[in-house]
Amino acid sequence: MNLDSKIPAGPLADKWNNHKAKLRLVNPANRRKYHIIVVGSGLAGSAAAASFAEMGYEVSCFCYQDSPRRAHSIAAQGGINAAKNYQNDGDSVRRLFQDTIKGGDYRAREANVYRLAQVSTNIIDQCVAQGVPFAREYGGLLANRSFGGAQVSRTFYARGQTGQQLLIGAYSALSRQIGLGTVKMYTRHEMLDLVLVGGKAKGIVTRDLVTGAIESWSSDVVVVCTGGYGNVFYLSTNAQGCNVTATFRAHRRGAGFANPCYTQIHPTCIPVHGEDQSKLTLMSESLRNDGRVWVPKNKADCAKPASEIPEDARDYFLERKYPSYGNLAPRDIASRAAKEVCDEGRGVGQMVDGKRLGVYLDFSAAIKRLGEAEVRARYGNLFDMYENITGENAYKQPMRIFPAVHYTMGGLWVDYNLQSNIPGLFVGGEANFSDHGANRLGASALMQGLADGYFVLPYTVTDYLAGEKPGSRPSVDAPEFKAVAKDVNDRVAKLLSINGTKSPRYYHKALGKITWEKCGMARDKAGLEGAIRDLQALREDFWKNVKVVGTGDALAPELERAGRVADFLDFGIMMCLDALKREESCGGHFRTEHQDAGEAKRDDAQFAHAAVWEWTGDGQLPVRHVEPLVYEETQLSTRSYK
């Protein structure tokens, strides 16, 4: 497997500019002769598709939702980071770079992260010009808030729905191009496979979710921005439709999958309430700016209402353990701390499976300090949401929160140009592995999605296209397309014909139970080995006993879910394998064997690399390759937020 990262030479700060100056161009008259397929319409996908079309390429964009505006980027609440230093608190590109690389526990590629920090400022400019209604100060200039893992205020936000506002910005740019006819938008289309011709990505096969039609699409380049794989855990904060299928299908066609074990558990979610729960709801991390996290000091107090526990019987464990960052400790650390106190039996809230899995997030101090009106102005929508779901009023009693799967740092392996090891297959946003290492800092996902879509892919894809002859893309009648379309048709037919006894959701839940128990917040060798065996058995059972109702020629949600679960089953095995082979703790990957009194213990000598998995065939375990991470300007140190 060719894992040349193509990192440009030169000092970190100059790499991107030097590289951009060397990238090849395509002359404007030739651009319309190239067809670019963009899969996914979230921040990265919409931004890339709109930018390509503005440049003059012919673009087709696909999404499974009924409108590109619904992609799951929309659900991001808290904000987007940028090194603008508007607050005059010492922020800079280098500082954002350092925070991000440290936040990622030194498992991200230095050059990529530096570039991300560099273009972060352009993103804010672009979004403001598009009309994104960021919060403002009375002087009319942009406001900022602080966020986890940083000691400066560099997060731009739009109430509690920054994701929706940024996505609407990108969606409006995309919509403009659709209106102009330069982008053809295919909604309710799911990419079910990637087509390679002569070793290069040259198209995709999709299923029209409304009519069931399996269709082939040919292009000069394929850009996949299909998000993360958090739903491998069944319960996550991801949207119901989020899936690994597009990236996993590309993986099966030869694309390396990097670091699947890096999954992020978000500390501030609403605790699980029961068996029939379909999703976990995140409360923005920004709540930790003013909320204080605590549990009772004594187990005996856990069943009591919060109001009956006196101040001196409360353990503000984040403030106690991490005095300098306090409640704003990074996500992985805050999550693990919450798990720890719950494992000690000091969790609060209702019993689920004999455990109380929840900690308090208390706003009474903030309400006293700022007044209820100000707290309402800052977090009103989140408090409302909390009350809708739990029936509890968080102005009167503390919220209960517990960590939940939220984001996945792993993804398809890409080089500095965001190109996978398959030529012509580019990957942007959460779908790639490039920028967050083993843990993502808050407000950095939106930044990365838009950075990839607006400011990286347009340059690097152009460079690739400059090497492809205009008009050379194959016809969809080529044998390669026919063969892939046949595979897809066969698979759909197989799923519909098994006619077993258990629903796709049954398997999804069973899968989630295994992955969350064994490959969730804490992992160990025995557990992971057991999980791999269990998943293999579950996969076998799935292909014998799944029951998919509905027909292939209409909207068939069960068929959609079955296909996604099938890929998640294969993927879950790879994720556990990756976790098993990474014999260290870093960021979101916590191996109980490797710790210093509860703190993650990295092994830089052996594991300062990205693990990249190669597909070897159905029923076989994937093979691990390695891309060493070379740090030219960063001193690796133990991540401390104490």
Partner 1 sequence: MVQDNGKEQTLALKLRVWRQRRGQPGAFEEHSLAAVPTSASFLEMMDMLNEQLIKEGKDTFAFDHDCREGICGMCSMTINGMPHGPIPGVTTCQLHMRNFRDGETITVEPWRARAFPVLKDLAVDRSAFDKVIQSGGFITVRTGSAPEANNIPVPKPVADEAMDAAECIGCGACVASCKNGSAMLFVGAKINHLNILPQGQAERDRRTLAMVKTMDEAGFGNCTNYGECQAHCPKSITLDVIAKLNRDYLRARVKEFFSSTGKPSKGGD
Residues of this chain, 448-477, that bind partner 1 according to CB under 8 A: 454-455, 458
Residues 297-356 that bind partner 1 (CB under 8 A): 350-351
Pick from 28, 90, 179, 198 the residue near partner 1 by CB under 8 A: 179
- What Cα–Cα distance (Å) separates residue 229 from each residue in 197, 374, 565, 568, 616? 27, 37, 11, 8, 20
Site string (218-247) toward partner 1, x via CB under 8 A:
-------------------x-xxx------
- Contact in structure between 335 and 373 (CB atoms under 8 Å): no
Q: How far is the CB of 362 from partner 1 (least distance, A)?
A: 21
Q: Which of 11, 133, 199, 598 binds partner 1 (CB under 8 A)?
A: 133
CB of 196 to partner 1, least distance (A): 29
28 is an interface residue for partner 1 by CB under 8 A: no
Closest CA to 467 of 414, 427, 419, 423: 423
Contacts of 103 (CB under 8 A, 6+ apart): 149, 330, 436, 437, 439, 440, 441, 444
Determine, following the binding rule CB under 8 A, whether residue 274 of this chain makes contact with partner 1: yes
Please tell me whether residue 126 binds partner 1 under the rule CB under 8 A.
Answer: yes
Applying CB under 8 A, does 260 fall inside the site for partner 1? no
Q: Please work out the total of residues on this chain that contact partner 1, with binding judged by CB under 8 A.
A: 85
Q: Which two tokens mark 334?
A: 């805050």
The yes or no reply on residue 157 touching partner 1 (CB under 8 A) is no
What residues from 377 to 396 belong to the interface with partner 1 (CB under 8 A)?
Answer: 384-385, 388-389, 391
Q: Does 124 bind partner 1 (CB under 8 A)?
A: yes
Q: Which of 87, 550, 601, 604 binds partner 1 (CB under 8 A)?
A: 550
CB of 216 to partner 1, least distance (A): 23
70 Cβ partners below 8 Å, 6+ apart? 63
Which of residues 108 and 173 has its CB atom nearest to partner 1 in the complex? 173
Q: How far is the CB of 554 from partner 1 (least distance, A)?
A: 6
Asked if 44 and 449 count as a contact pair (C-beta separation under 8 A), the reply is yes
What one-letter code names the amino acid at 277?
Q
Among residues 37, 83, 101, 158, which is the contact residue for partner 1, using CB under 8 A?
158
Per rule CB under 8 A, is residue 555 in the interface with partner 1? Answer: yes
Q: Which of 139, 198, 479, 619 contacts partner 1 by CB under 8 A? A: 139
Strand partners, 611: 626
Question: Which residue's CB is nearer to partner 1, number 30 or number 130?
Answer: 130
Contact between 510 and partner 1 per CB under 8 A: no
The window from 270-278, 290-298, 360-368, 582-590 that contacts partner 1 (CB under 8 A) reads: 270-278
Q: Return d(Cα 527, Cα 578) in angstroms, integer.
A: 13
Question: Segment contacting partner 1 (CB under 8 A): 145-153, 178-186, 408-416, 421-429?
Answer: 178-186
- 23 near partner 1, judged by CB under 8 A: no
CB of 409 vs partner 1, minimal distance in Å: 21
Which residue stretch of 106-114, 124-132, 367-375, 400-408 sits at the interface with partner 1 (rule: CB under 8 A)?
A: 124-132
- Kindly state whether residue 284 participates in binding partner 1, applying the rule CB under 8 A: no
Q: Does 16 help bind partner 1 (rule: CB under 8 A)?
A: no
Tokens of 511: 């899968």
497 binds partner 1 (CB under 8 A): no
List binders of partner 1 among 400-459 (CB under 8 A). Answer: 454-455, 458
CB of 558 to partner 1, least distance (A): 6
Does 83 engage in binding with partner 1 (CB under 8 A)? no
Contact, 462 vs 55, CB < 8 A? yes
The backbone torsions φ and ψ at residue 296, rounded to the nearest 5 degrees and listed phi first, read -65, 150
116 binds partner 1 (CB under 8 A): no
Among 21, 29, 129, 605, binds partner 1 (CB under 8 A): 129
In 557-639, the DSSP E strands lie at: 595-596, 599-600, 609-614, 623-628
**How many whole angstroms separate alpha carbon 217 and alpha carbon 397?**
55
Task: Pick one of 7, 13, 135, 498: the residue that binds partner 1 (CB under 8 A).
Answer: 135
Q: Which residues of 569-585 are buried (b: 16+ CB within 10 A; e: fewer)?
A: bbbbbbbbbbbbebebb
Structure tokens at 302: 């856990």
CA distances from 399 to 269, 271, 298 (A): 10, 10, 19
When asked if residue 117 is in the footprint of partner 1 (CB under 8 A), the reply is no
Q: What is the SS3 string spanning 165-215? A: HHHHHHHHHHHHHHHHCCEEEECCEEEEEEEEECCEEEEEEEEECCCCCEE
Q: Which of 16, 134, 433, 568: binder of partner 1 (CB under 8 A)?
A: 134
The answer to whether 168 contacts partner 1 (rule: CB under 8 A) is yes
Q: Does 27 bind partner 1 (CB under 8 A)?
A: no
User: Contact between 281 and partner 1 (CB under 8 A)?
Assistant: yes
Task: State in Å, rounded, how far the first CA of the chain is from the last one.
Answer: 41
The contact pattern for partner 1, residues 45-74, with x = CB under 8 A and - = no contact, is --x--xx--x----------xxxxxx-x-x
d(CA 7, CA 16): 9
Q: Which of 2, 22, 276, 596 binds partner 1 (CB under 8 A)?
A: 276
Looking at the Cβ atoms of 493 and 626, the one nearer to partner 1 is 493
Candidate residues 94, 279, 376, 601; the one interacting with partner 1 per rule CB under 8 A: 279
* Distance, CA of 639 to CA of 104 (rounded, Å): 9
* 549 belongs to the binding site for partner 1 (CB under 8 A): yes
Q: Would you give the distance in Å from CA 306 to the centre of its chain?
A: 34
Out of 483, 537, 554, 621, the residue judged to bind partner 1 by CB under 8 A = 554
Contact between residue 114 and residue 634 where contact means Cβ atoms under 8 Å apart: no
Cα–Cα distance between 21 and 460 in angstroms, integer? 11
Contact partners, residue 409, CB within 8 Å, separation at least 6 = 104, 259, 262, 263, 264, 433, 436, 437, 438, 439, 440, 587, 588
H or E element in which residue 58 lies: strand 58-62
> Would you name the residues annotated as active-site residues?
331
